[in-house]
């Protein structure tokens, strides 16, 4: 499916909704524009607010392959682009040697050239996304990579092509739909930002979060869902080190469901806190807050 079949922000919101991803007007608009203008979409926001899930949902909604590049400290261009399959090159060389020994003369230059044939090329995510076009390229947690890698990304995202010295230039027939996510552990460079359309994803409001949980975990009753979301929304306001994201809401709702909980009470919520709070420093404060909320 081509990306220009998406007619409007409402259209993309509808398609994403069918995959179970619920977005508000602002996110739908920026996603629509990113598709239309063929610009990368940079998503920042608190952990667990659906940044990665958006890229997955776009791929699903447009029926495009998703190619994921997970960034980490120390990642370099090789890990994003391509490698040569060294063991297979060696085997190929052995085969050539054997052929040479049996009398069929082997041209050294030809032999060398044949080592850098496309079949020995291991495409890493960025190259794979260009080759598989149209595709969705998810550059996840780009803030973990360093400046140099950002510069490399900027170049790829400006030209949608890469050059491989031994083979030549690989260009995408259709530019991939690119989604970059960042948890903002550091500020990205202006040059990269300028290339992208930007959107900050906030924690969802009460009604939207209820809808999200209903869509992702339909097995949990509406009543329990409302209670869980109500509590989580309040917990986000008490200044925790790591406020729970949608991911934690989902985990907690599912955990309670597995325990056969019909309505939330203090004892069950205390027992299932591990699904919701992942910082020891936060546990006590959450416990106190729950005490106030649920004791009545």
Ligand X SMILES: Nc1ncnc2c1ncn2[C@@H]1O[C@H](COP(=O)(O)OP(=O)(O)OP(=O)(O)O)[C@@H](O)[C@H]1O
Q: Which residues bind Mg ion (CB under 5 A)?
A: 52
> From the list Mg ion, ligand X, none, which binds 22 (C-beta under 5 to 8 Å, kind-based)?
ligand X
Please say whether the dihedral angle defined by the alpha carbons of residues 181, 184, 185 and 189, taken in this order, is positive or negative: positive
Can the peptide bond before residue 261 be classed as cis, meaning omega within 30 degrees of 0? no
> What minimum distance in Å lies between the beta carbon of 93 and Mg ion?
42
> From the list Mg ion, ligand X, none, which binds 21 (C-beta under 5 to 8 Å, kind-based)?
ligand X
Beta strand 41-45 pairing with 177-182: parallel
Angle at 47 between CA 41 and CA 48, to 5 degrees: 90
Q: Does residue 142 interact with ligand X by CB under 6 A?
A: no
Which residue of 23, 42, 81, 286 would you call a contact of ligand X, by CB under 6 A?
23
Which residue of 50, 125, 243, 244 would you call a contact of ligand X, by CB under 6 A?
50
Q: Does residue 14 interact with ligand X by CB under 6 A?
A: no
Q: Would you say 175 or 245 has its CB closer to ligand X? A: 245
Q: Does residue 183 interact with ligand X by CB under 6 A?
A: yes
Residue tagged 């063929």 (tokens):
38
Q: Does residue 276 interact with ligand X by CB under 6 A?
A: no
Q: Would you say 117 or 143 has its CB closer to ligand X? A: 143
Q: Would you say 52 or 249 has its CB closer to Mg ion? A: 52
Nearest to 91 by CA among 125, 60, 115, 59: 115
Q: Does residue 246 interact with ligand X by CB under 6 A?
A: yes
> From the list ligand X, Mg ion, none, which binds 23 (C-beta under 5 to 8 Å, kind-based)?
ligand X
Q: Does residue 180 interact with ligand X by CB under 6 A?
A: no
Q: Would you say 40 or 96 has its CB closer to Mg ion? A: 40
Q: Would you say 53 or 228 has its CB closer to Mg ion? A: 53
Structure tokens at 263: 């309505």
Angle at 124 between CA 123 and CA 130, to 5 degrees: 70
198: enclosing H helix or E strand: strand 197-201
3-state secondary structure of 213: helix
* Beta pairing partners, 138: 68, 179
Instruction: Identify whether the C-beta of residue 161 lies closer than 8 Å to the C-beta of residue 201.
Output: no
Using CA atoms, how far residue 240 sits from 203, 208, 244, 251, 283, in Å, is 14, 22, 9, 18, 9
Which residue of 13, 30, 31, 53 would you call a contact of ligand X, by CB under 6 A?
53
Q: Would you say 170 or 235 has its CB closer to ligand X? A: 235
Please say whether the dihedral angle defined by the alpha carbons of residues 124, 130, 131 and 135, taken in this order, is positive or negative: positive
**Contact residues: ligand X, CB under 6 A:** 20-23, 45, 47-53, 181, 183, 212, 216, 246-247, 250
């Amino acid at each position: 499916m081509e990306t220009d079949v998406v007619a409007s922000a409402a259209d993309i919101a509808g398609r994403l909704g069918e995959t179970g991803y619920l977005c508000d007007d602002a996110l739908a608009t920026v996603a629509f524009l990113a598709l239309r203008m063929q610009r990368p979409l940079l998503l920042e926001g608190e952990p667990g607010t659906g940044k990665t899930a958006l890229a997955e949902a776009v791929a699903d909604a447009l029926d495009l392959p998703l190619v994921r590049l997970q960034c980490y400290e120390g990642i370099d261009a090789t890990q994003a682009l391509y490698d040569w399959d060294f063991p297979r090159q060696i085997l190929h060389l052995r085969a050539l040697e054997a052929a040479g020994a049996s009398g069929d003369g082997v041209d050294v230059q030809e032999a060398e050239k044949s080592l850098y044939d496309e079949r020995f090329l291991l495409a890493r995510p960025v190259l794979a996304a260009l080759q598989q076009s149209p595709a969705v390229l998810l550059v996840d947690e780009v803030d973990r990579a360093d400046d140099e890698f950002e510069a490399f990304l900027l170049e790829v995202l400006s030209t949608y092509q890469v050059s491989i010295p031994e083979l030549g230039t690989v260009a995408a027939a259709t530019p991939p739909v690119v989604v970059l996510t960042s948890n903002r552990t550091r500020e990205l460079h202006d040059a990269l930002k300028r290339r992208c359309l930007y959107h900050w994803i906030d924690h969802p409001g009460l009604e939207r979060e209820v809808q999200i949980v209903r869509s992702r975990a339909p097995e949990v009753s509406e009543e329990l869902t409302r209670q869980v979301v109500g509590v989580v929304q309040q917990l986000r306001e008490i200044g925790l080190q790591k406020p729970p994201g949608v991911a934690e809401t989902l985990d907690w709702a599912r955990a309670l469901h597995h325990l056969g909980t019909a309505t939330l009470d203090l004892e069950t919520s205390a027992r299932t806190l591990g699904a919701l709070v992942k910082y020891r420093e936060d546990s006590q404060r959450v416990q106190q807050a729950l005490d106030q909320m649920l004791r009545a």
